[in-house]
Amino acid sequence: MKQIGYLLLLSVVLFSCKQENKALETVASSVVEEEEKPPIIKEFGYILDNFTVVKDTIKPGDSFGAIMDSHGMSRARVFEITNKIKDTFNVAKIRAGKPYMLLKSKDTTEKAQIFVYQNNKIDYTVIDFRDSIIAKKNKKPVKLVEKIASGTIESSLMQTFDDLDLNFLVAYNMADIYAWTIDFTRLQAGDRFKVVYTERFIDDTISAGIDNIKATYFEHRNKPIYAFRFMDDSIHNSHDYFDEEANNLRRAFLRAPVKFSRISSRYNLKRRIKYYGNKIRPHRGTDFAAPIGTPILATADGIVTKSERRGGNGKYVKIRHNATYDTQYLHMSKQAVKVGEFVKQGDVIGYIGMTGNTSGPHVCYRFWKNGKEVDPFRQELPTSKPLADSLRPSFYKHIEPLRTQLDSIVFKPKEIL
């Protein structure tokens, strides 16, 4: 009897184990099934699996009508859509190189239903013509990520950023901030920088450009220069950069009309030229060499008084800034402004070229003070007003943690470069 009892007990145990194994197999199978379900892919707010998706890029010569025609839409329907949405989106302004997505019905007709045009990495326009025709402009969700960087100059700022695999747009923004206090064409080996900035990201991985620089430190010729971004609503209700003593880093004039160029010839009234038999031919400008097509910037606010082509000057622009100062920009390949236009400091007024008397691509920058051409690098140019006393307490409070953060950043050692 005892043996029978043992056998019965063993049978129960084995049966239970089998049942448990079956249960585990069922659970494991369900888990596998759940894991094998394809993810739902959404883009621009639409579930892509619900459509036949066409992704492409606007080609030179393409038009909205031609694209729709290639996907079976009648001209009458195209006209109806373009006329309906004209106040929201002008389809004539689509540009070659811009990506677009067309969502078509997922059946044998593959009827075009939704057109998405990507203006840039963030902004896009949706034209939905499934039932009624609707056009709307949207933005992709953007996440701001704070970043820090530092480096030591060996040859140039851009080369240093390239060596450190840093976003070159940060270098451009830094050049803008220090454009009035540092000559970036004459950086020295050993100059160094630290910067705190925010970068925009789409889907956490796709960079959409630099948002802004919050604070930076640049050590040039052993002289440290801090810069902190702060809203100065007492003057022009916009952000500017100030040093740790609340002095505005902006000046009335930029030091150079071209970013990251080199000076190929300076203002020199006693210059001798071999081509002209070593005779003295005064050079009343400062030449900035750069590749053809490089943008030329207005060094200060003013009114365009000349935009023409004449003799050895080639194509040029002249700007009247006030009763004291005028500037002129020679040898352009193309002007970007007309006489009478008001330009702001940093606006593009033309592009580097070789028109007129020139042996290489550059801009000859001429500077007048009280009607006389002078060397801009020898002038005591006016500065912007410092921060108002009423704003200083909030400014000092604002920059305190930023300065602590900057000071704690360790410079990248030279051997890494």
Task: Decide which of 159 and 20 is more confident.
Answer: 159
- Please tell me the distance from the alpha carbon of residue 72 to that of residue 65, in angstroms, as a whole number: 11
pLDDT at 251: 77
Q: With 80 as the cut, is the pLDDT of residue 44 above it?
A: yes
pLDDT tens figures, 308-338: 999 989 999 999 998 889 999 999 999 999 9
Q: Which of 98-112, 223-237, 326-340, 390-404 has the lowest mean pLDDT?
A: 223-237
What's the chain's average pLDDT?
A: 84
- Please tell me the distance from the alpha carbon of residue 303 to that of residue 381, in angstroms, as a whole number: 19
Q: With 80 as the cut, is the pLDDT of residue 36 above it?
A: no
| 251 contacts 243 by C-beta, under 8 angstroms | no
| Sequence-distant (≥ 6) Cβ neighbours of residue 245 within 8 angstroms | none
375-379 contacts, C-beta under 8 A, 24 or more apart: 375/266, 375/267, 375/286, 376/253, 376/255, 376/267, 376/286, 377/255, 377/266, 377/267, 377/286, 378/267
* Three-state DSSP class for residue 298: coil
Q: With 90 as the cut, is the pLDDT of residue 192 above it?
A: yes
Q: Please give the share of the chain, as a percent, with pLDDT higher than 70.
A: 83
Neighbours of 147 (CB within 10 A): 14
Burial of 151 (0-12, 13-18, 19+ CB in 10 A): buried
What share of residues in the chain are helix, strand, coil (percent, to 5)? Answer: 25, 35, 35
pLDDT confidence bin for 416, thresholds 50/70/90: very low
Q: Please give the share of the chain, as a percent, with pLDDT higher than 90.
A: 50
Residue 400 host element (H or E): helix 392-408
- Please tell me the distance from the alpha carbon of residue 315 to that of residue 308, in angstroms, as a whole number: 6
What are the structure tokens assigned to 381, written together? Answer: 């140019």
Q: With 70 as the cut, is the pLDDT of residue 86 above it?
A: yes
Q: What domains sit in the chain, N to C, each tagged with a CATH number?
A: 42-139 (3.10.450.350), 143-251+408-416 (3.10.450.350), 262-378 (2.70.70.10)
pLDDT tens figures, 340-382: 999 988 899 999 999 998 888 999 999 998 899 988 888 777 7
